[in-house]
Amino acid sequence: MRDQPAPLARRGTLRVLLINPVNELVSITNTEENAWNAGRRWKPLGLLVLAGRTPAEWEVEVIDENLGVPDYGSRPRPDLVGISAFTSQANAAYALAASFRARGVPVVMGGVHATMCTEEALAHVDCVVTGEADDVWETVLADARRGALQRLYRGGYADMNRVRPARHDLLPGGYIFGSLQVSRGCPLDCSFCSVTAFSGRRRPIPEVVEELGQIREPLVLIVDDNLIGTSKRQIEYAKELFRAMARARHGKAWMGQVTINFADDEELLELAFKAGCFGVLIGFESPTVAGLGELEKTFNVRHGRDLRESVRRIHRHHMLVAGSFALGLDVDRVGIGREIAAAGHHYGLDVVNTLFLTPLPGTRLFTKLQAEGRLVADNFPADWRYYTLTYPVSRYRHLAWGEAVREMHEVNCGFYNFPRIVQRVSRALFRTGSPLGALISLTTNLSYRFNRSIDASALAAARPPSA
Ligand code: SF4
């Protein structure tokens, strides 16, 4: 039977530590071997939002271990620790929890992994918050204060009208990008994705615009999985938002994630640029229609879409386009690496981000590959650390483990060779008409260029015996 944590001090200020744990296998955290990775870091927004929901009787500190892991033992003992983790961070979260619990500090865990693998997480922490923590966080803190922490809090979907601004004043240095959230969820339903349904979950525009003005960094990443949505109503909201951002003149340059239909509406493109958008990330996912069918994302080529022309339309409005692809689909064979690199060139993308198709828990893909006995890294929870999307954790239908690694190397060698990088950076300068556009293009291209060899050697060293 589990011991119930004792009531905390009833007077005076209590301390809560909110931690984003590091997984050193995630390349973006590796700035020692590749300093360009620092240019792709952004603030861990979820913890800053919770900090904004923390009552004044709690002193809150946020630690992003991506900037360095502090010596917790030499710091004042907190009264409560909150950890948020993606799947790849789960082991680090459990190790952290063990060290704090050994010191008698209760630990609460939230985030997508704890939501999808609640029983597993409960074995390592005192309490789990599933779903979105916003609306239950104050209850968690009040219960912790009186020593009545429950094992499980179900956050569900937060009321977007009550989402508080993030504490952008915390974590003052070390980031190129500040971060902001406008909406949650996505109206599409790709088989490999754990993002929840959209269902009109958008924040009031005046609050979003005011919060944008509170961000100290001049560059901002809007973290929404799909900033514009797909329906007429969602796109009208995006237009209204962009108009309000432009009127506010906060002078921020930002980028966000959108679907390819962003290119279909000239007014939307014009408004986004006027609102400060310098670039978008779009999930192209696969260079083949069969691949898009497998991932249930034929949305990308609906109505005979010409993807190259769509990218051109975005470029004509002075914005950069980064494209993401997944490698390791059932339809992928030897040669897919070159195909992805060629598609990236053909579409005219400024950046290509290719990831191994990864079965994250809670997705249809995970259920399928687990049922088919195709998980290579399946010693859970230890193997979650490989679920970074940069490590082949599955047995692919037509690619042996080593072939999948080589194909990934092919994409990055094909797309990130120096002559191409110079060409892309020059184009970025021309397209955006701004040195900032060229600098962002240069930083991201070099970050990927140098990661390709670091990732390749790490992968070769980490080959699992069953692969
Ligand atoms: S479009 Fe992107 S965010 Fe939406 S379901 Fe597909 S992968 Fe997920």
Q: Closest Cα to atom 3, ligand 1: which residue?
A: 225
Based on the domain organization, do 150 and 186 belong to the same domain?
Answer: no
What residues contact 465, with CB distance under 8 A and at least 6 apart? Answer: none
Instruction: Give me 317's structure tokens.
Output: 């409005």
Q: Is the CB of 193 under 6 A from ligand 1?
A: yes
Task: Give the least confident one: 26-35, 92-101, 146-155, 156-165.
Answer: 26-35
High-pLDDT (> 70) share of the chain, %:
90
Q: Could you tell me if the CB of 256 is within 6 A of ligand 1?
A: no
Looking at residue 1, its pLDDT comes to 42
Closest-lying ligand 1 atom to the alpha carbon of residue 285: 7
Residue 118 and residue 219 in one domain? no
User: Are 285 and 349 spatial neighbours (Cβ–Cβ below 8 Å)?
Assistant: no
| CA of residue 225 to ligand 1 center, whole Å | 7
Looking at the structure, tell me whether residues 223 and 264 fall in a common domain.
yes
Residue 10 pLDDT more than 70? no
- Conformation bin of residue 104: beta by default, left when phi > 0, alpha when psi is -120 to 50: left
What CA–CA distance (Å, rounded) separates 409 from 389?
14
Q: What is the mean pLDDT of residues 242-249?
A: 98
**Of 181, 226, 324, which is best to mutate to test ligand 1, by the most ligand atoms within 8 angstroms of its C-beta?**
226
User: Has residue 64 been placed in a domain?
Assistant: yes
> Residue 444: its pLDDT value, please?
87
Q: Assign 463 a pLDDT band (cuts: 50, 70, 90).
A: low
Residue 266 burial by CB count (10 A; 0-12/13-18/19+): exposed, middle or buried?
exposed
Residue 325 pairs in a beta bridge with 285, 354
Q: Is residue 18 included in any domain, yes or no?
A: yes
Largest CA distance in the chain: 66
3-state secondary structure of 251: coil
Does one domain contain both 184 and 131?
Answer: no
| Host domain of residue 305 | 176-461
The residues pairing with 353 across neighbouring beta strands, listed in sequence order, are: 324
Identify whether 397 is part of a domain.
Answer: yes
Phi, psi of 292 (to 5 degrees): -65, -35
User: pTM, whole model, 2 decimals?
Assistant: 0.93
Q: Within 10 A of 382 (CB to CB), how many other CB atoms are there? A: 12
In a domain, 166, yes or no: no
Mean local confidence (pLDDT), 72-94: 96
Query: What are 51-82's pLDDT values in tens digits?
Result: 999 999 999 999 999 888 999 999 999 999 99
430 within some domain: yes
Which residue, judged by its Cα, is nearest atom 1 of ligand 1?
188
DSSP calls for 50-104 = HHHTS-TTEEEEEEEGGG----GGGSPPPSEEEEE--GGGHHHHHHHHHHHHHTT
Question: Residue 25: its pLDDT value, please?
Answer: 77
Domain end, chosen from 120, 154, 188, is at: 154
Please indicate, yes or no, whether residues 198 and 114 belong to a single structural domain of this protein.
Answer: no
Nearest ligand 1 atom to alpha carbon 189: 5
User: In this structure, what CATH number is given to the domain that contains residue 102?
Assistant: 3.40.50.280
Show Cβ contacts of residue 440 under 8 Å, excluding neighbours closer than 6 positions.
39, 219, 278, 279, 320, 428
Mean pLDDT of the chain: 91
Residue that is last in its domain, among 154, 185, 217: 154
Is pLDDT larger for residue 202 or for residue 195? 202
**Quick one: pLDDT band at residue 12, thresholds 50, 70, 90?**
confident
Q: Are residues 80 and 227 in the same domain?
A: no
Q: Is residue 7 part of a domain?
A: no
- The answer to whether residue 5 is domain-embedded is no
Residue 250 has pLDDT above 60, yes or no: yes
**From residue 303, how far is each of 34, 59, 226, 264 by CA, in Å?**
42, 54, 20, 12
CA dihedral 166, 167, 173, 174 (to 10 degrees): -30
> Would you place residue 24 in the very low, low, confident or very high pLDDT band (cuts 50, 70, 90)?
confident
Strand partners, 202: 183
Same domain, 202 and 129: no
CATH number, domain at 451?
Answer: 3.80.30.20
Domain identity same for 65 and 180: no
Over residues 82-97, mean pLDDT: 97
Assess whether 342 and 224 both reside in one domain. Answer: yes
C-alpha dist (Å) from residue 392 to 88, 198, 373, 380, 463: 13, 30, 15, 16, 9
* Domain count of the fold of the chain: 2
347 and 456 share one domain: yes
Pick the last residue of a domain from 119, 154, 189: 154
Whether 161 is covered by a domain: the verdict is no
Q: Which residue has the tokens 């209850």?
A: 139
- Secondary structure class of 177 (helix, strand, coil): strand
Instruction: State which of 112, 184, 193, 284 you would mutate to test the pocket of ligand 1, scoring each by most atoms of that ligand within 8 A of its C-beta.
Output: 193
Same domain, 91 and 228: no
Pocket test for ligand 1, best of 181, 184, 195 (most atoms within 8 A of CB): 195
Q: What is the pLDDT of residue 447?
A: 81
pLDDT digits (tens, 9 = 90+) for 293-326: 999 999 999 999 999 999 999 999 999 999 999 9
Average pLDDT, integer, range 249-275: 97
Same domain, residue pair 380 and 252? yes
